[in-house]
Amino acid sequence: MSYFIDNDIEMKKIYSVFTGTGSYVPTKQIKNEYFHSNEFYDSTGKKLDTPNDEITRKFEEITTIAERRYAEDDQVTTDLALIASQKAIEAAGIDKEELDYIIFAHNFGETRTDDIQIDVLPTMAARLKQKLGISNPFTVAYDVLFGCPGWVQAVIQADYYIRSGDARKILVVGADVLSRISDPHDRDSMIYADGAGAAIMEGRESESPLGVIGHNSRSDALDYANMLYMGYSYNAELAEKKVHYLKMNGRRLYQYALSNVPKTIKAGLDKLNLHITDISKVLIHQANGKMDDAILKRLFDLYGINEVPDTIMPMTISWLGNSSVATVPTLLDMITRETMNDHQLESGDIIVLTSVGAGMNINSVIYKIP
């Protein structure tokens, strides 16, 4: 469906705003002790001699993750997305049949407990549209695969549609079930979690900038494409089954993120002549608590500022883990609904939504609260 801007109102620009948000946090609570019965191996297939309680203790020190959430056995990825989407639609107060686009960010499709083979046909967006019961054929539904930054990139795409006049209302959703594609014999598997987040974006005319006022993205595939990849289990016996699991080069990924995420955020702010002190909140992908802290400190260092404000970066990773594309929209929803202590948003506040992940990809959105 296409919309055209009347020349008589060109003095006002169209901006993209979030009019409703939603998220789904699975109820299955997985503490670090859950992994004490696992057998862990290194990347060469050698069994680790370190006791599991020490492995989980060091893991928590490095990542700040004490627990995470997993989907129930009878839930699939689109079930999580459906709940988050319904909440966003209700919060926005719109008719779902009026949606012009459904953009679904994910990385592993419809994973199941008994079959972790990646299933992406039909698309996740098409399945979600069906589950939402939308009959409008002009509600165009498609997927975005962009690593953990997928939801933020989907927001950027939606902003282009809205500002061009091609769309008025878009559902942007991110969901992944990482617990089912994680190698139980790899310590890195403890990072991953499940979840979903969604937002309704609508066009709003304004004489002054509001909503999405800028964004910035980069892809460093040439040298860094394989830092996150699908590979066989570290357990040689399981590896013989030729099942692929999510793998990563954690140390190199950490170095990449620390070097490039702050510069990408600053570049986005520079486009708008904004300073880091103009920013009220930084909603960053919940990848690793210590890494996110280091990224924020490095960002402030770029401006010659030594002290980082205590409440500028809300965090959920200690109790929700890393749910990939779902982390940023879940943060946005929780803050919007005022369910996070010490974190509120006021009209006129400028916030940054930013993520880093497989590709390697980095992006950021600069958003002014209407």
pLDDT in tens, 231-247: 999 999 989 898 899 99
Contact 162, 178 (CB under 8 A): no
Is residue 50 a part of any domain in this protein?
no
pLDDT digits (tens, 9 = 90+) for 23-54: 999 999 999 999 999 999 999 999 999 999 99
Among 206, 221, 246, the domain boundary falls at 206
Taking the C-alpha atoms of residue 57 and residue 53, their distance in angstroms, rounded to an integer, is: 6
Cα separation, 76 vs 251, whole angstroms: 31
Q: Is 49 a domain residue?
A: no
Residues 222 and 193 in one domain: no
- The number of CA neighbours under 13 Å toward the Cβ of 216 is 17
End of a domain among 206, 223, 245? 206
Whether 341 has a pLDDT exceeding 90, the answer reads no
The CATH code of the domain that includes 338 is: 3.40.47.10
The answer to whether the CB of 357 falls within 8 A of the CB of 324 is: yes
Q: What percent of the chain has pLDDT over 70?
A: 97
For residue 76, name the pLDDT band (cuts at 50, 70, 90): very high
Task: Tell me what pLDDT residue 118 has.
Answer: 80
Give the pLDDT confidence of 182-201 residue by residue, as tens digits. 999 999 999 999 999 999 99
- Crossing angle, helix 289-301 and helix 250-271, to 10 degrees? 40
Kindly state whether residues 179 and 230 are assigned to the same domain: no
Q: Are residues 121 and 242 in the same domain?
A: no
Residue 59: inside a domain:
no
pLDDT number for residue 3: 40
Q: Is 145 exposed, middle or buried (0-12, 13-18, 19+ CB in 10 A)?
A: middle
Q: Are residues 279 and 163 in the same domain?
A: no
**21, containing H or E segment:** strand 13-24
- Say if residue 218 is in the same domain as residue 310: yes
Q: How confident is the model at residue 250 (pLDDT cuts 50, 70, 90)?
A: confident
Residues 251 and 360 in one domain: yes
Tell me what the pLDDT averaged over the chain comes to. 94
Q: Which residues of 8-36 are buried (b: 16+ CB within 10 A; e: fewer)?
A: eeeeebbbbbbbbbbbbbbeeebebeebe
Tell whether 142 and 22 lie within a shared domain: yes
On whether residue 231 sits in a domain, the answer given is yes
Residue 13 has pLDDT above 90, yes or no: yes
Compute the half-sphere exposure of residue 157: CA atoms within 13 Å on the CB side of its CA. Answer: 22
Asked if residue 332 is part of any domain, the answer here is: yes
Residue 6 has pLDDT above 70, yes or no: no
Question: Is 42 contained in some domain?
Answer: no
In the chain, the number of structural domains is 2
Domain-terminating residue out of 206, 238, 258: 206
- The DSSP-derived string for 348-359 is T-EEEEEEEETT
Residue 4 is predicted with a pLDDT of 41
**Does any domain span residue 35?**
no
Same domain, 287 and 268: yes
Predicted confidence at residue 36, as pLDDT, reads 96
Q: Is 91 a domain residue?
A: yes
Residues 109 and 228 occupy one common structural domain: no
Structural domain boundaries, residue 285: 211-368
Q: Which residues contact 348 (CB under 8 A, 6 or more apart)?
A: 368, 369
Statement to judge: residues 242 and 121 lie in one domain = no
Please indicate, yes or no, whether residues 222 and 136 belong to a single structural domain of this protein. no
Residues belonging to the chain: 370
185 & 230 share domain: no
